[in-house]
Every structure is written in structure tokens, then in C-alpha cells.
Structure 1
Amino acid sequence: MDTRKQQLEKVIPGFGFYATGIAIDEVGRRVFVSNMQGQLMTLNADTLEITHTQEIEADQLLNLVYDPQGNRLLGVDQGIDRDKPRNNYLGQTYTRRSSGHQLFALDADSGKVLAKVDTDQVPIGLLLDAQQQRIYVTNRNGVRVENGAGTVTVFDARSLQRINTLALPPHPNSLALDEANHGLFVTVKNDGAANKAGTLESVVRISE
């Protein structure tokens, strides 16, 4: 999209089953896109052409973050059972490569796994705080459940070691960082019970 003119600029095909994660390397002029069939695509940010499609060891990288300091891609592997729709799309049986519910660090050039660690169940969003060297991951601990149990898992960005787990209402989703005031904001969506009760969805502020 051309954000100045608010017009469609180009439609890019070729992303396979459920293109989901996207991240940009602004200096290297690369765009990375992940899908739900264990693939990572690299695009030229200027020509918008796919330059590489790599098979990776994570089945479902839902969201991506590019770390320029380490030339890494950080992504959450969601772990939801999508076998039937994926097999129907591919026209063959897909063999799973990962156990899901994990945080991955991949080499941005090769797609090779540098490190991986368990999150809580059903990770959704992630955020890299490069200044504090922390990675925050939102987890839903269930899909379309009546009573959700959300968490934010906190990891050391260098080692991917888990530092903390914060309990939140269901279902934590997106993250935003206020670096100046050291605050982390998390959007929280409703579970089934909250939807039935007509509860408003919310935003949580966490002090770093």
C-alpha cells in the first residue's frame, strides 16, 4: 500500500499456506515473511520481488521481529493443530517439524535455527526491547476457550533464557513499548465467557 495516497500499489503472490509473520531489515532492504507450512520468504524491499524461499524447522511462525544486532529473526511458533486445512491446501500430508509453543531465533540469511525455547501454550505476539535486551511474548494458553488464562513470558534476548512469566487476563495479543517511560502495553481480548458477558476488551500497562 502507498500510505501517502492510500492506494494499492502491488499484490505479491507466492507465499504459500497462510502468510502470517512479517518483519523488515531497513538497512539491508529486506522484508521477511513467514507462513504456516514451515517456510520463510525474503523479499527485496525496493523491487518487492521474492528473492529466497527457505524451508525452516518451525511450522507456524505467527509473528516475526528482525534483530539487526545479531542479524536474527525472532518468531513465535504457535503450535495450533492446522493439519487438515494445511493438507487440503497443499494437496498432500505435511510432516510437522516442530512441537510448537516455542520462541525461535533464526539466522536471517540462511533460516538456520540459532536457538529455540518453550513459551507458554499458544504464543501470539512478540516484542524485542533492544535497549534492555528483553523479548516479551504473549500467550493465550488455549484456543477459543470459555475461560482463558493469559500470560506474558519474558526472555533474555541474548540467551533466550526465560526470566519471568506474568499472569494476565485472557487473551493477551499485541505489544507496544514506551521506552522513555519504561512501560510495556499489552492488548487483551476476551475469552468466551467475557464475550457472553459483553465485557469490554482492555489494554494492560506493565512497568519494565
Structure 2
Amino acid sequence: MPSRWTLAMLALGCTLAAPLQAQRLCAPDTPPLQNQVGPGVYELAYSPSQQAVYAAVAGGFKDDAPPSSVVRLDAATLQEQSRLLLPYRAFGLALDDEKGRLYVGHSLQGRISVVDTARNRRLHTVQLSRPRPDGKRYEHDLRGLILDKANSQLFVPGLSAGDSVLFVLDSDTLVLKKTIPNLGMYPTGLALDEAGQRLFVSTMAGEIAVVDVRTLRVLGRWTLTGVHQPVNLAYHQGRLYVADQGLESITPWQQRLLPKRDWSGSRQQVLMLDPDNGQVLAAQAARGHPLALAVDAAAGLLYVTERSDGRVAAYTLDGLRPVAAGLTGKLANSLALDAAHSRVYVSVKNPGKSEQPTGESVALPCFEPWTAVAQNGK
């Protein structure tokens, strides 16, 4: 007799066959392929030329914590190929595979390191943020990084409650070209429209700023009604995708910083916007506090980490219909995509806090059809 998983696969029919065949489909209860890389794993980057996955490993936050590093893993097996130790905690990554450069964000030290991927060595470190007068922290923490290859620019948001900025670094000379002020309250999400020469930046004020990447000016700003925590963005062919995290613990902080705004009714959702005016074209309720986004154009899918549920969900790009999900076992954090093979890599963090740093992982999850996921109550 066919299993419930097999029947669910057959029930999907031809409409979803092409996207799902591109994924790593496994029988029920098959664990994800994963490798423990160390404490504090954050962002990932995939290298087509090296067939490898890079992981930023912060190490830990105490004086006696393990050192920070960038780890390179084999894309097919996730076996460790190399490890480059770094003097500062690594969080964000942006890869220029053609030029063999990996940009590493050191959020707490306000710096960017540049790594030569061919020789696996650190070339240079650029200081972007200045120390505060008390000497304890820097004026701006750094969040993610995004590379504008056409204009040889690296964009790096500098986070603050009231005076956030956008650092613009010349990715060839490593010279700071400009610091764009007044970006808003804690800019976290970044998405690049290469054809339209626009950068979208989302903030924890429920806003999205639109930046002209040629003139380096803010073209406009939208306040998204009913969207409170647009933590991450993705862009594809005239559509802007948004992960609205809906994390209850953030709402009191937002109320304190912007008391005139109505922060009630925060929700967990994924949205599709018109990038010309911010109009919501589609919205899909999500679970597990959605966090990271990745577009698989060939499969027509948007991948979303539903962090606290420990899974990666796949939605259709055209209407955000859920079609599949892969379990990670623990907290699903950041994503990287091998578009040629439709492999989805995810950094997996441990829940809770521990006095001793514990190892966290990079995983290549198995995907099940959404009907099977719903039936299993995952």
C-alpha cells in the first residue's frame, strides 16, 4: 500500500512537479544533511566556481570564547574544506565569485574584512563605524551586506535607534564612497534591483527606503500598513518580497521608540509588493517567525526560514502559495542557494542561551510536499 508521503506526492500533480523535482526530496523522518561548524554560525554564501558553501562563524562573545572564522564546506557533502581564523566576530557575508572576494561583516566592531577565496587569506579590513565616546561599542552596529557588482559597490547598513546610515564602499578600492544618513530605525533587510538600479532597505519602523545606486540618494520611503517587522527582503522581476517577523518580544521595544505608531496586531507573514509604490500584491500567513529569504527563479520558488519552527518553507513566486517545507531540527536562520542544482543551504542555530559556546550547523534539508507537512502537523 502506498505510504501517506507517496500519496501526497502524487496528489500534487503536474502543477507542482517541476519545482519539487528540483528539491532534495526524502522519505519521512530522513534527517537533513548537516555539519557542525562551530558556535555562532550566521550568514552563508554559495560559490558556483568552487562548488562550496561559506559560513560565517562568530565563535562566541566571552573573552575565552573560541575564535571567529570563515568556514568553507563542500557543497555536495558539507564536509569542511578549509577554515580561516579572523580577529573579529564574523556575522554577515557577501561573495563576489568572479573576482574571488568574500566580504565579511564584523557587526560588533564596525568593520568589514575582505578575503581572497582562491588563497584563503584575509586581504584587508576596513573600519566603517567609529567608537562611541565611552569606548565600549561603536556608533553603528553592522547588519547584512549586499554587493552591487555592476557599479562595484558594497552596501552596509549601520544600525541605530535614531540615526542609522548606509555605508557605501567601493568594492574594488575598498574606499568609503559615501555614508547615506537618515536611513531610519534599525535597517535590517536589503534587496537589489539590478536592472532598475535601485536598492531597497527595510527598517524596524515598518518602512522601506528606496535608494538610487547610481546617485546614492534616497528616492522615497514607504510606511507599510500592517507590516511591523520587515526583517528581510528579496527582489525578483518586478516583485519585492518581505519577511514580516512578528516577534512578540520586539513589539514593546518598537512601542518605546515610536510611541505614536500603532504596533498592535503584529503578525507573522510573507508579502509580495509592487516595488514602484509599495502596494501589497499578495500576503501569506507564516509560522515560526519568518526570517531569511532566497529566490530560486528556475524553480519559481521563494524560500523562507521559519526560524522558531525549525524549518525552511517554499512558496511560489507568483502568488506565495505554500508548496513544500524542509525541517532543520533546531532554529533555521540564514539561507544560501545553489541555483544550478536548486540546493538550499541553511544555518541552524541552537535554541536558548548557554554559558558555554556550543556547536551550530550548516544543513541541506530534505523537502516534503506541503500536504504532507500539514498532515504531519509540522
The alignment's TM-score, normalised by the length of structure 2, stands at 0.49
Preserved contact between residue 326 and residue 365 of structure 2 (Cα < 8 Å): no
Q: Which whole-Å deviations, capped at 9, do the CAs of 1:168-188 have from their partners, x for residues lacking one?
A: 122111111112233111111
Find the counterpart in structure 2 of residue 204 from structure 1.
Answer: 363
Residue 55, structure 1, aligned to residue 223, structure 2: yes
Find the counterpart in structure 2 of residue 94 from structure 1.
Answer: 261
Cα distance in 1 between the residues matched to 2:223 and 2:280: 11
How far 1:113 moved relative to its partner?
0.4
Could you tell me which of 64, 78, 96 is aligned with 2:233?
64
1:18-37 matches, within 5 Å, as 18-37=186-205
Q: Which whole-Å deviations, capped at 9, do the CAs of 1:82-115 have from their partners, x for residues lacking one?
A: 233323333x332137642100000000100000
Could you tell me which of 298, 303, 306 is aligned with 1:136?
303
Structure with more relative contact order (C-alpha pairs < 8 Å, separation 6 or more): 2
Unaligned runs of 5+ in 1: 142-148
Cα distance in 1 between the residues matched to 2:287 and 2:328: 12
How far 1:207 moved relative to its partner?
5.9
How far 1:27 moved relative to its partner?
0.9
1:1-208 matches, within 5 Å, as 1-57=169-225, 58-68=227-237, 71-81=238-248, 82-90=250-258, 92-96=259-263, 99-141=266-308, 149-192=309-352, 195=354, 198-206=357-365
How far 1:14 moved relative to its partner?
1.7
Alpha-carbon spacing, 1:97–1:46, altered in 2? closer, same or farther (3 Å): farther
Q: Which whole-Å deviations, capped at 9, do the CAs of 1:46-81 have from their partners, x for residues lacking one?
A: 11110111121211111100112xx11001000113
Bigger helix fraction: 2
Cα distance in 2 between the residues matched to 1:107 and 1:101: 20
Unaligned runs of 5+ in 2: 1-168, 368-378
How far 1:10 moved relative to its partner?
1.6
Whose radius of gyration is greater, 1 or 2?
A: 2
Cα distance in 1 between the residues matched to 2:295 and 2:273: 14
Alpha-carbon spacing, 1:137–1:6, altered in 2? closer, same or farther (3 Å): same
Cα distance in 2 between the residues matched to 1:203 and 1:95: 38
Identity of aligned residues (%): 34
Cα distance in 2 between the residues matched to 1:41 and 1:97: 23
Aligned residues: 197
Preserved contact between residue 255 and residue 261 of structure 2 (Cα < 8 Å): yes
Preserved contact between residue 255 and residue 263 of structure 2 (Cα < 8 Å): no
Alpha-carbon spacing, 1:204–1:101, altered in 2? closer, same or farther (3 Å): same
Preserved contact between residue 327 and residue 365 of structure 2 (Cα < 8 Å): no
How far 1:139 moved relative to its partner?
1.4
